Structure 1
Amino acid sequence: MTAATTLTTDRLILRQPQASDLPAYTAYCASPRTHFVGGPFDTVKAFDKFAAIAGHWTLRGFGRYIMEQDGAPIGHVGPMQLDATKPAEFTWTLWDGAYEGRGLATEAACRVRDHLLGDLGWPEMIIHVMPDNTGSIAIAQRIGATLTDEPAPEWYDGALVYHLRAEVPA
């Protein structure tokens, strides 16, 4: 099951990663915005992480989309599945705080959710969010995810675990 390589919303193009996105991603990785995901990261780790985002598409046939607005990459959104025996994890991140508060991450997450759970018929995705990441908690709730009492994975100790299922209305 291969995901669409490009999706659109009213304000965004959601597309596969390109080499030209690396400088913006590297700047994001070096910033305090990465504190919820173990950062900041140096240039080498940023490259490694970006290569994983890009390579995921080749290895799994789907992956995280780059959010593009007015020709500029502003974040990423979509699934990653490091363990093929478990549901994909749904993620989103705006790379620069200047884009917050406009509903862009929610808009992008809704479009990808509808494509994967609707168009492609995925049954569910998992979302992990740190309890003090109130912005991502709000997005998880807006897109219809349900908080569970499941323990966080070892690699993300203390995270809240949400399920996003196909039967949740948009």
Structure 2
Amino acid sequence: MWAAPLLMTERLTLRRLDARDRDAFLAYSTGPRTAFTGGPSKPFRAVEKFAAMIGQWTLMGYGRYAICLDPDAPAIGHVGPLHYDTTQPAEMTWTLWDDAQTGHGYATEAAARVLAHLLDDLGWPSIVARIEPDNAASHAVALRLGGTRDDAAQAPAWMPNAVTYRFGGAV
């Protein structure tokens, strides 16, 4: 099952990450905005993560999209499924890379489009989001997207305090 390589919203272009996004991703990954995602990272780890995000498309047929304000511009963030363990449901992710892009609804708009593609167009039965307890902005996005908080869900080892939200059917 291959996800569409390009999705559009009224304001955003969602495309596969590529080389033009590298510098902005490295600036994000090595900076303070990564506090809720295990960072900041050393530059070589950031490059590895960036390459892994691109490579998931080759391995799985789906992955995270670059969030772009213009089709030809570098990304301002990423959104889409991350799938570390295929015995578990994929995790929906959304991240804006710069403080200047917050507060405009970009993360919610992008995530809503990707969720619709995965759940409705591709027929995925469900997907989860794992969010650090103190990440109020991401909790708000999950709720705006219609996520159901599951306090009984077991947090993954790599984020032991995670709060889980479910989208779609039962997981």
What do you get for the CA RMSD once the two structures are aligned? 1.1
The Cα offsets for residues 46-73 of structure 1, whole Å up to 9 and x where unpaired, read as: 1000011000000000000000113231
The Cα offsets for residues 67-89 of structure 1, whole Å up to 9 and x where unpaired, read as: 01132310000001111111110
Partner of 1:36: 36
SS state at 2:108 partner = helix
Q: Provide the C-alpha distance between the structure 1 equivalents of 2:119 and 2:154, rounded to a whole number of angstroms.
A: 24
Partner of 2:168: 165
What are the within-5 Å matches in structure 2 for residues 126-137 of structure 1? 126-137=128-139
Number of matched pairs: 167
Shift of 1:114: 0.5
What are the within-5 Å matches in structure 2 for residues 1-170 of structure 1? 1-70=1-70, 71-149=73-151, 150-165=153-168
The Cα offsets for residues 134-169 of structure 1, whole Å up to 9 and x where unpaired, read as: 0000000011110012121111011101111159xx
TM-score (structure 2 length as normaliser)? 0.95
Q: Provide the C-alpha distance between the structure 2 equivalents of 1:87 and 1:158, rounded to a whole number of angstroms.
A: 18
Check the 8 A contact 1:118/1:166 in 2, yes or no. Answer: no
Q: Which residue identity is paired with 1:94?
A: L
Q: Provide the C-alpha distance between the structure 2 equivalents of 1:139 and 1:23, rounded to a whole number of angstroms.
A: 26
Check the 8 A contact 2:29/2:39 in 1, yes or no. Answer: yes
Q: Provide the C-alpha distance between the structure 2 equivalents of 1:125 and 1:96, rounded to a whole number of angstroms.
A: 26
Gaps of 5+ in 2: none
Check the 8 A contact 1:117/1:166 in 2, yes or no. Answer: no
Q: Provide the C-alpha distance between the structure 1 equivalents of 2:74 and 2:106, rounded to a whole number of angstroms.
A: 13
Which consecutive segments of 4 or more residues in structure 1 shift more than 2 A?
A: none
SS state at 1:101 partner = coil
Check the 8 A contact 1:81/1:89 in 2, yes or no. Answer: yes
The Cα offsets for residues 21-45 of structure 1, whole Å up to 9 and x where unpaired, read as: 1000000011100010110011101
Q: Report the identity percentage.
A: 51
SS state at 1:125 partner = strand
